[in-house]
Amino acid sequence: MKTPLLVLLRSGLIAILLAPGAANAGQPLVVDDLMQGAPVPPEKRVTLQNFMQEPFSRWGFRHIRQLAPTADIYAGSPISPLESSPVDLDALAFEVGEGRTLDLATWMEESRTDSFLVLHRGRIVYERYLHGMQPQLPHQMFSVTKSFVGTLVLTLAEEGQIDLERTVASYIPELADSAFGSASVQQVLDMVTSVSFSEDYADPEADIWHYGKIVWIGHDPAAAYTGPASMYDYLPTLKPRDAAHGLAFHYVTPNTDVLAWILSRVTGQSLQELIAERLWQPLGAERSGYLWLDRSGVPMAGGGLNITARDAARFGQMILQGGFYNQRQILPPAVVRRILTPRNRDVFNVLYQDDWYDTVAYGYHDQWWSFNNPHKAVSAIGVHGQFIYLDSVADMVVVKQSAHPEAEGESNEVHGPLIWHQIAVHLLGLDRDQ
CB-based contacts of 353, cutoff 8 Å, min separation 6: none
Name 82's Cβ contacts closer than 8 Å, sequence gap at least 6.
Answer: 119, 123, 124, 286, 310, 313, 314
Contact 168, 175 (CB under 8 A): yes
Instruction: Give CA 62 to chain center in angstroms.
Output: 15
Identify which of 332, 318, 339 has the alpha carbon closest to the alpha carbon of residue 157.
Answer: 332
Residues of 105-144 as b/e, b for ≥16 C-beta within 10 angstroms?
A: eebbebbbbbbbbbbbbbebbbbbbbbebeeebbbbbbbb
Among candidate residues 57, 111, 115, 143, the one labeled active-site is 143
CA 60 to mean position of chain CA atoms: 16
Burial code of 287-301, b = ≥16 C-beta within 10 A, e = fewer?
A: bbbbbbbbbeebbbb
Residue 411 contacts residue 116 (beta carbons within 8 Å):
no
Phi, psi for residue 139 in degrees, rounded to 5 = -120, 140
CA distance 320 to 399: 14
The type of residue at 335 is V
Cα separation of 41 and 59, whole Å? Answer: 15
Is 392 considered catalytic here? no
Tell me which residue of 306, 328, 282 sits closest to 78, measured CA to CA: 282
Q: How many CA atoms lie within 13 A of 427 on its CB side?
A: 27
List residues with catalytic annotation: 143
